[in-house]
């Protein structure tokens, strides 16, 4: 798809400044959300031994680092962890940070892994960038073992914002593109972020799509004036 290729090219173009820009824009709060996601996933696991984790839209590997750190804290034994992303330049940076992790350049709708081979699949701030989103969710269900856990962290659309939430939306729409553009030298890419949130689903609608794709939602929690939402679901 032409739109999907445009999104992939955009991430290739901002790969070198991606990590530093994210830390500045989120003030490091995204680290707290990632840790929460890992902790909840492990709590809902049927087994704590020899688990296989797939991080989709892994970017530069930030979520994989959090999986490893949280596994160590919770005495979880990771048998294997893989990162999937369609951006070659993002994966090049991820491989430098995590030399012992296997990374696969691929889109989320057709992942070259065996059915029922993963205990956990995560996707952080990537589901809204997948044009054929429902196809990707069905692919996640195929790869996950029965009872396996899907973790989604994403910026979601707020349909009835409070005053605080309107302030957060102002930051996302007006301030974030300017700061992100200055740091990355790519204003268009960081203008895409608020635009993509505006075009994305509500929390309720995404949970409906999860059910339609073979998942049972277990936990849904919005953070920081509903800017970000954590979804934890179990494969039926």
Total domains, the chain: 1
Question: Is there a binding annotation on residue 124?
Answer: yes
Is position 144 within any domain?
yes
How does pLDDT run across 131-190, given as a tens digit for each residue?
Answer: 999 999 999 999 999 999 999 998 876 666 666 556 656 666 666 667 666 666 776 767
CATH number at residue 86: 3.40.50.150
**Would 85 be classed as within a structural domain?**
yes
Asked, for residue 175, whether it belongs to a domain, the answer is: no
196 belongs to a structural domain: no
Global pTM exceeds 0.85: yes
What domain range is 65 assigned to? Answer: 2-12+27-157+201-235
- Given a contact cutoff of 8 angstroms between Cβ atoms, the answer to whether 18 and 60 are in contact is yes
Please check whether residue 92 lies inside any domain of the structure.
yes
Minimum mean pLDDT among 14-23, 103-112, 146-155: which range?
Answer: 14-23
- Could you tell me if residue 163 is inside a domain? no
In a domain, 107, yes or no: yes
């Amino acid at each position: 798809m032409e739109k999907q290729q445009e999104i992939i090219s955009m991430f290739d173009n901002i790969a070198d400044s991606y990590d530093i820009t994210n830390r500045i824009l989120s003030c490091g709060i995204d680290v707290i959300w990632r840790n929460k996601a890992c902790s909840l996933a492990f709590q809902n696991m049927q087994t704590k031994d020899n688990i296989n984790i797939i991080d989709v839209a892994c970017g530069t590997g930030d979520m994989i680092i959090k999986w490893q750190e949280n596994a160590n804290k919770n005495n979880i034994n990771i048998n294997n962890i893989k990162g999937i992303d369609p951006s070659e330049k993002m994966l090049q940076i991820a491989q430098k940070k995590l030399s012992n992790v296997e990374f696969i350049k691929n889109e989320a709708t057709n992942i070259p892994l065996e059915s029922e081979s993963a205990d956990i699949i995560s996707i952080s701030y990537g589901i809204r960038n997948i044009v054929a989103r429902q196809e990707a969710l069905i692919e996640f269900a195929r790869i996950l073992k029965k009872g396996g856990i899907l973790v989604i962290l994403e910026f979601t659309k707020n349909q009835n914002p409070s005053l605080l939430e309107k302030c957060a939306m102002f930051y996302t729409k007006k301030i974030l593109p300017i700061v992100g553009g200055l740091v990355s030298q790519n204003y268009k890419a960081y203008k895409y972020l608020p635009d993509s949130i505006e075009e994305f689903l509500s929390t309720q609608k995404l949970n409906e799509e999860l059910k339609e794709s073979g998942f049972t939602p277990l936990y849904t929690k919005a953070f920081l004036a509903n800017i970000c939402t954590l979804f934890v679901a179990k494969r039926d």
